[in-house]
Structure 1
Amino acid sequence: MTQYNQIKRFALSTTGVLALAVASASHAVDLTPIEGVTVSLGGYTKLDMIYNVNEDLGDAMNVGAVNTGADEDDEVEGSTRFHARQTRFWLNTSSEVQGSELKTRVEADFFSGNPDSGFTETVSNSTQLRLRHAYGSWNGILAGQTWSNFMPLVALPPTLDFNGPAGYIFNRQAQLRYTTGGFSVALENPESSIAGTTDDNDPLPDLTAKYKGSAGPLSYSLSGVVTQLETDDGISDDSETGYGVMLAASTQLGSARVGGNLGYTEGANRYLFNSASPFQNGYVDANGNIETVAQMDAMGFVDVPLSGKLNGLLAVGYSSGDADDEVAAQDAGFRDSTMSVHANLRYQASERIMYGVEYQHAKVDEYNGDDGDANRLQVSAQYTF
């Protein structure tokens, strides 16, 4: 996640044609040049080699999948998985339109399933291409799919694990955003998740707002979200308003970079990753009413240069739920708390080559007192083009 800025730039003019080599030397893609447009191409390949010590949590550490109770006692220990699914590429353009810069970005990776292909790990490890970003921005107006405006990008720790720590907002979705100075406001896709019903409705777009600023080496942001929840199964119907706030910051402390976030959500919990409310805004109780679960989330990290080419990271995340009816909340999939630890060493062999090793620990506590944990070791090799 630290290599995004490594790109090749091609200035296009009306006097030539740009040919891009593809799978074999006998095939090429021709791009008709457009005057005044700069095209930037980039990406990286990444191999992740994962050893699950006591539980398989998938190709990226899914804290919400940690076993508890009897499942914790019966789980299979020791498994290995190699994959290259985080490999990605992007295309950016930049041009001047009516005196203002028009920017576009399209980015994709392979972190998607391919259940219909038949090509499993046994055969070819095929996965589907997945859209990450597709947006344009001009005169402060952004339209398309990208990181949620609620997400605090000022405090993003460089984990090798694709999912990252508990207690951090991680969400990309379609949106219309306006930015002026450090303030931004957006209408975003309101895809809610309410446990216990298949009749949840999204009557209004989610509203997000963020203020981002800096003071010397300190970068900070304060963001918020409001969402409307609604369900109607033909017999009973209900609606609730969900919301969330998040404060985040990072700064240089000597040679180290330190940062973190602290947030509260109720009914907007789907924005939080690896949390006590796994992508769920609420649940429907026995009376057909929507019940939300309050949640506190925190994450902190320190990234320290150990030599000219070696960096070490420690990131700790925590998420805690507060349900009025703990039995019903647990039955709906909510947890009392989740916690994660990521500790890595990253060796930057050159500007475009990185090797790393990371220890990952996840822990879950249930409302009924059951708990469980999992430990993983991941080794990664990333080549940027």
Structure 2
Amino acid sequence: MTIQTTFKKASLFSASALVLAVASASHAYEFEVGDVTVNYGGYTKLDMIYNVEEDLGDAFNIGSINTGAAEDNEVEGSTRFHARQTRFGFGTDAMVSGSNLKTYVEADFFSGNADSGFNQVVSNSTQLRLRHGFGSWNGILAGQTWSNFMPLVALPPTLDFNGPAGYIFNRQAQLRYTTGGLSVALENPESTVNNSLDDNDPLPDLTMKYKGAAGPLNYSLSGVVTYLEVDDGNTDASENGYGVMLAASTTVGGVKLGGNFGYNDGANRYIFNSVSPFQNGYLDANGDIETVSQVDAMGFVDMPLTPMLNGLVAVGYSGGDADDEAAAQASGFRDSTMSVHANLRYKPAERIMYGLEYQYAAVDEYDGTDGDASRVQASVKYTF
């Protein structure tokens, strides 16, 4: 076996155009092993966070913002340093039977709990976790990566790991077929129906997306259909859920503009910072599955201020509509969620980034109570 040991700078994600759309600013080492091209790279990242109000975690967890009496009595002001977003990945690319066989594996350290030794007192230990692990050949992708429903054409570069409200953020196992700009996938159907003892997932989620371009404009239209079922021996209920999302981005005079607009009902878990975090519906007093519809929107402007300094403003919104607002709120659903991320990213050299970001979010409950939170985050990122 011959290994070419001359390393050269290359895109970290050249093994997959899918991931290249998300992290094209990263770099890696590329080398040949026989007839296989191998890429390896990643980055280290220090995040230094000051919570002006309540502590919302190592990433801005908008869904946990206090409201009502809890908002009035919360503890304010806390500092947290961590390096959990540090990551590495490698990919391969080889010609097999006339088509490129591409694989990609990526991991970071955004996992861990107290039982596994995760603590800030002594070691700050965190667990390694799988982000991406997939292969693609002849239009067929199999493994874990971004949901096909997720609009990668409009991803704002926030320092915050979670990002704005109103945006799809989901990675999961799937089997996908792509031809031209059209992709169809069967994906892991991990649905949560609150108030139920047994959430069944008898069928995979079905997602479809079409990506295209018109001059400098890149756009995508995606959709998802999911089947919700509860069957615990006493309750047997089912409901359909769906979602659609239109997204686009363009660059004008060096300024990147992007955003998305979508609607879903019963597929709410795909919207990460939304009015229904990680839930698709709830079981009502009659034993029926009730869904909450929501409108989601996000927009951002990323502008070069100098050759080495960029500034970003991203605004997100998620608004819900429940038939029984009291029951929906009791089950963890909220009336609306909004967020603002504003940052400055300074790049003195190609593989170095220093950033400062202000984050603000507000939530409204169906009963009229509300809450908000803000914090400041500084980051240092070194790419290898």
Question: Under a length normalisation based on structure 1, what TM-score does the superposition of the two structures give?
Answer: 0.93
2:89 and 2:235 map into 1 onto residues whose CA distance is 46
Residue number in structure 2 paired with 1:23: none
2:58 and 2:272 map into 1 onto residues whose CA distance is 15
Residue number in structure 1 paired with 2:6: none
- The residue type paired with residue 8 of structure 1 is Y
- The residue type paired with residue 315 of structure 1 is A
Shift of 1:253: 2.2
**Contact 1:2–1:158 (Cα < 8 Å) also in 2:** no
1:296 and 1:318 map into 2 onto residues whose CA distance is 8
Shift of 1:255: 1.9
Please show how residues 296-315 of structure 1 align to structure 2 within 5 Å: 296-315=295-314
After TM superposition, what 4+ stretches of structure 1 lie above 4 angstroms from structure 2? 1-4
1:223 and 1:215 map into 2 onto residues whose CA distance is 17
1:2 and 1:106 map into 2 onto residues whose CA distance is 14
Which is worse superposed, 120-129 or 2-11? 2-11
SS of structure 1 residue aligned to 2:327: helix
Shift of 1:11: 1.2
Residue number in structure 1 paired with 2:205: 206
2:332 and 2:48 map into 1 onto residues whose CA distance is 30
- Offset from partner CA, 1:225-261 (integer Å, 9 cap, x none): 0000000121121100000000000001222000000
Shift of 1:3: 5.7
- Offset from partner CA, 1:35-60 (integer Å, 9 cap, x none): 20111000000000000001100000
2:288 and 2:323 map into 1 onto residues whose CA distance is 13
2:25 and 2:333 map into 1 onto residues whose CA distance is 35
Shift of 1:10: 1.2
Shift of 1:119: 4.6
SS of structure 1 residue aligned to 2:116: coil
- The residue type paired with residue 352 of structure 2 is I
Shift of 1:2: 4.6
Residue number in structure 1 paired with 2:8: none
2:49 and 2:134 map into 1 onto residues whose CA distance is 33
Residue number in structure 2 paired with 1:117: 116
- The residue type paired with residue 66 of structure 2 is N
- Offset from partner CA, 1:289-321 (integer Å, 9 cap, x none): 100000000000000000001000000000000
Please show how residues 164-313 of structure 1 align to structure 2 within 5 Å: 164-313=163-312
**Contact 2:281–2:291 (Cα < 8 Å) also in 1:** yes
Residue number in structure 1 paired with 2:97: 98
1:120 and 1:172 map into 2 onto residues whose CA distance is 26
1:43 and 1:5 map into 2 onto residues whose CA distance is 7
**Contact 2:275–2:333 (Cα < 8 Å) also in 1:** yes
1:157 and 1:98 map into 2 onto residues whose CA distance is 38
SS of structure 2 residue aligned to 1:42: strand
**Contact 2:112–2:118 (Cα < 8 Å) also in 1:** no
1:258 and 1:265 map into 2 onto residues whose CA distance is 24
- Offset from partner CA, 1:322-365 (integer Å, 9 cap, x none): 00000000000000000000000000111100000000001000
1:255 and 1:106 map into 2 onto residues whose CA distance is 32
Residue number in structure 2 paired with 1:351: 350
- The residue type paired with residue 304 of structure 1 is M
Which structure 2 segments of 5+ residues have no match?
1-21
Residue number in structure 1 paired with 2:16: none
Please show how residues 35-46 of structure 1 align to structure 2 within 5 Å: 35-46=34-45
Question: Under a length normalisation based on structure 2, what TM-score does the superposition of the two structures give?
Answer: 0.93
**1:7 maps to 2:6:** no
**Contact 1:114–1:126 (Cα < 8 Å) also in 2:** no
2:246 and 2:183 map into 1 onto residues whose CA distance is 15
Shift of 1:118: 3.3
1:321 and 1:220 map into 2 onto residues whose CA distance is 25
SS of structure 1 residue aligned to 2:367: coil
- Offset from partner CA, 1:131-156 (integer Å, 9 cap, x none): 00000000000000000000000000
2:23 and 2:141 map into 1 onto residues whose CA distance is 23
**1:150 maps to 2:139:** no
1:334 and 1:97 map into 2 onto residues whose CA distance is 49
SS of structure 2 residue aligned to 1:155: coil
